[in-house]
């Protein structure tokens, strides 16, 4: 199984969209100090996730959500869950 997920950082008031096999393990990685967009905050929480049968399907959905480039659409998706 693969997942598409949205995490949120209160300190930066930002959302991040990603895809992976293990959401909880990935969240730990996001919350560690590393180079990259999510590495400096350390307060990421999972707001939404969606299960997919394969990696291809998950990546297509991730790209779709990222293409929205809209905080409003992301918040609507989270609220609909």
Whole-prediction pTM value?
Answer: 0.94
Give the three-state DSSP class for 79.
Answer: helix
Q: Are 53 and 1 in contact (CB under 8 A)?
A: yes
Through-space distance between the first and last CA atoms of the chain, rounded to whole angstroms: 19
Tokens of 37: 């967009």
**Which residues in the chain show pLDDT less than 70?**
none
Closest C-alpha among 18, 79, 64 to residue 44: 18
3-state secondary structure of 22: coil
* pLDDT value of residue 41: 85
Please state the domain extents for the chain.
Answer: 2-80
Fold of 2-80: GIY-YIG endonuclease (3.40.1440)
């Amino acid at each position: 199984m693969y997942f598409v997920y949205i995490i949120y950082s209160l300190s930066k008031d930002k959302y991040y969209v990603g895809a992976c096999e293990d959401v909880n393990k990935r969240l730990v990685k996001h919350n560690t100090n590393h180079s990259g967009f999510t590495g400096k905050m350390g307060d990421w929480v999972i707001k939404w996730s969606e299960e997919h049968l394969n990696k291809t399907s998950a990546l297509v959905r991730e790209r779709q959500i990222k293409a929205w480039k809209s905080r409003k659409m992301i918040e609507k998706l989270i609220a609909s869950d």
